[in-house]
Amino acid sequence: MTRARLVLGLLVAWFVLHALALMAFSWVAPTGDGFTRGMNRLLLAVGLQMAAAVLGVAAFVLGRALPPGHRLRRIAWVPLILAGLLVLAIAAPFALPR
């Protein structure tokens, strides 16, 4: 298996996990009572995002070894960019002055 195919496979797996994490809220029924109602959906989404992040970092690291100018080398940045935007979206409300 060539490195390019491995990077492409990791990117496809990352995309699937990332999409599943976004759709988890609509597919899983909330369980629990009171404060913890729906916590199962949140934990599933966060778990899928963490798994996608691991695959995204692996794709980025392996993509850096591809020749300069290779398409997959540039595409391997996408998971890191989206993960950074997600972290900014979560952290921004806490960092902004009130």
pLDDT in tens, 34-75: 888 888 888 999 999 999 999 999 999 999 999 999 999 999
pLDDT at 72 (0 to 100): 92
In the three-class reduction of DSSP (H, G, I as helix; E, B as strand; rest coil), residue 70 is classed as coil
Q: Which uninterrupted H or E stretch holds 16? A: helix 3-27
The structural domain count of the chain equals 1
Q: Name the pLDDT band for 86 (thresholds 50, 70, 90).
A: confident
Sign of the CA dihedral running 5, 8, 14, 19: negative
What residue numbers bound the domain in which 27 lies?
3-95
* Residue-wise pLDDT tens digits, 1-30: 798 999 999 999 999 999 999 898 888 888
Label residues 38-70 b or e (16+ Cβ within 10 Å = b).
Answer: eeebeebbeebbebbbebbbbbbebbeebeeee
